[in-house]
Amino acid sequence: MVGPKTTHWKLEPHTKAKHEILRGYLNGWFPVMSRYNDRIFFFDGFAGPGRYENGEAGSPIIALTTLLDHAHFSKMECDFLFMFCEHDPKRFASLEAEIEKLQNARAPWPRNVKVQLVNEEFEARASNIVTEMKRLKKQLVPTFAFVDPFGVSGLPIAVIKDLLASPRCELFVNYMVDSVNRFAGAGNIDHHLRDLFGTERYKEAANLQGQPRQLFLHDLYEEQLKSTCEFPFVQSFAMINSHGHIGYYLFYGTRDIKGLEIMKDSMWKIDPGGDYRFSDRLVGQTILFIEDGLDVRPLRQAILTEFAGKAVPIQQLEEFTISRTPYRKSHLRRPVLTPMEKENVIQVRRPGKSGFPPGTIVLFPA
């Protein structure tokens, strides 16, 4: 995907949806992280000009206003550090102007909200942060890194690994699989692909075609985020356009299952409409992130297969649903377990008379 040549450009529906996901996640992340930490850090690696062609807010404005407008902001006592990185000089000047407008409109600006703008490439700034942390012999504070490039260059997985090595760091990255799919095996941008994946295994895609090729490139990036960046929880969401083609994947990496739960809740709350869809895979089926007419049969089958013949605490079932399937925790009890109990597929030992409260044990058939 070639990026726009102009300073400002039109806000596309899929980008708007991506921003709604970001806003939804930060709305949950800010209060949770501020409760337990003195400082937290939001890093936008490809910040853009601050606003789009028709005045819509870009990711820096969205991140800041999500915090400032939060119902519990006045009770959040930690320091919020925001860094917005934009290498294009004209877009950076626009970003500076938009941030200044926001700060003037919200005067007096909260003392615990600190904003830094840097006119640099993501890779250079991230590397500088890593170097400084090593010099100071410190770990990065809890961080959410939003990395939203237009292509595949300037996004080395080794840099992401080093930047987000601390236990409470998270990643939300736009993986431009369409561009990767086009060039993998061609040989003309191998240096960028080698940096992107941290391996030359992407060359194996040259022997594949169609969907198997795209799935291989998806799975390889997911595997590298888990093994190289050491994110135990990695969730991807396919952005499917109105023609049924996957334009890109949004990958989220974390070491905290609570973060994964918040991100999935944010994703499922988006109402795509007809221009795009979100999807993921489970037991060989495509799962569309649409609540109306939700098909939970793949979740039911996955649970029956995983826990066959076992007595399982409800908490373990929740963790499996969150970390191993595309579904939300709320899709487990009433949509799946309640019908299974009524059909005598499962047996339930619960501390109360009904429902699946903490302490519930579910017995699955062999």
Confidence of residue 245 (pLDDT cuts 50, 70, 90): confident
* Residue indicated by tokens 């987000």: 164
Task: Report the pLDDT averaged over residues 15-29.
Answer: 94
Task: Report the pLDDT averaged over residues 125-151.
Answer: 96
Q: What is the pLDDT of residue 338?
A: 98
- How does pLDDT run across 168-225, given as a tens digit for each residue? 999 999 999 989 999 888 888 999 999 999 999 999 999 999 989 999 999 999 999 9
Tokens matching residue 183 = 């060039």
Q: What is the pLDDT of residue 187?
A: 83
Q: How many residues does the chain have?
A: 366
Q: Would the pLDDT of 109 be above 60?
A: yes
Confidence of residue 275 (pLDDT cuts 50, 70, 90): low
Q: What is the pLDDT of residue 219?
A: 96
Q: Which residues contact 121 (CB under 8 A, 6 or more apart)?
A: 85, 87, 154
Q: What is the pLDDT of residue 158?
A: 98
| DSSP bridge partners of 79 | 39
CB 301 within 8 A of CB 283: yes
Task: Report the pLDDT averaged over residues 325-339.
Answer: 95
Beta strands 169-175 and 143-147, pairing class: parallel
Instruction: Tell me how many degrees the CA angle 129-135-136 measures, rounded to the nearest 5.
Output: 90
Q: Would the pLDDT of 277 be above 80?
A: no
Q: Would the pLDDT of 273 be above 60?
A: no
pLDDT top residue among 293 and 89: 89
Confidence of residue 160 (pLDDT cuts 50, 70, 90): very high
| Predicted TM-score (pTM) of this structure | 0.93
Q: Would the pLDDT of 104 be above 80?
A: yes
Give burial (CB, 10 Å; 0-12/13-18/19+) of 282.
Answer: middle
Maximum CA extent, the chain: 65
Q: Would the pLDDT of 323 be above 90?
A: yes
Q: What is the pLDDT of residue 144?
A: 99
Q: Would the pLDDT of 49 be above 90?
A: yes
pLDDT top residue among 67 and 15: 67
pLDDT top residue among 293 and 41: 41
Q: Give CA separation, 346 vs 12, 15, 151, in Å.
A: 46, 43, 48
Q: What is the pLDDT of residue 292?
A: 78
Q: Which amino acid is at 36?
A: Y
Q: What is the pLDDT of residue 88?
A: 97
Q: How would DSSP label each residue in 170-234? A: EEEEEE-HHHHHHHTTTSTTHHHHHHHHSSSGGGGGGG--HHHHHHHHHHHHHHHHHHTS--SEE
pLDDT top residue among 12 and 143: 143
Q: Which residues contact 221 (CB under 8 A, 6 or more apart)?
A: 175, 177, 196, 197, 249, 251
Q: Which amino acid is at 130?
A: V
CB 163 within 8 A of CB 130: yes
- Positive or negative CA dihedral for 82, 85, 91, 97? positive
| 3-state secondary structure (DSSP) of residue 249 | strand
* Helix or strand run (H / E) with residue 159: helix 157-163
Q: What is the pLDDT of residue 272?
A: 59
| 3-state secondary structure (DSSP) of residue 108 | coil
Q: What is the pLDDT of residue 300?
A: 97
- How does pLDDT run across 78-94, given as a tens digit for each residue? 999 999 999 999 999 99
| 3-state secondary structure (DSSP) of residue 94 | helix
pLDDT top residue among 326 and 272: 326
Q: What is the pLDDT of residue 282?
A: 79
Average pLDDT of the chain to the nearest whole number: 94
Q: Would the pLDDT of 274 be above 60?
A: no
Confidence of residue 27 (pLDDT cuts 50, 70, 90): very high
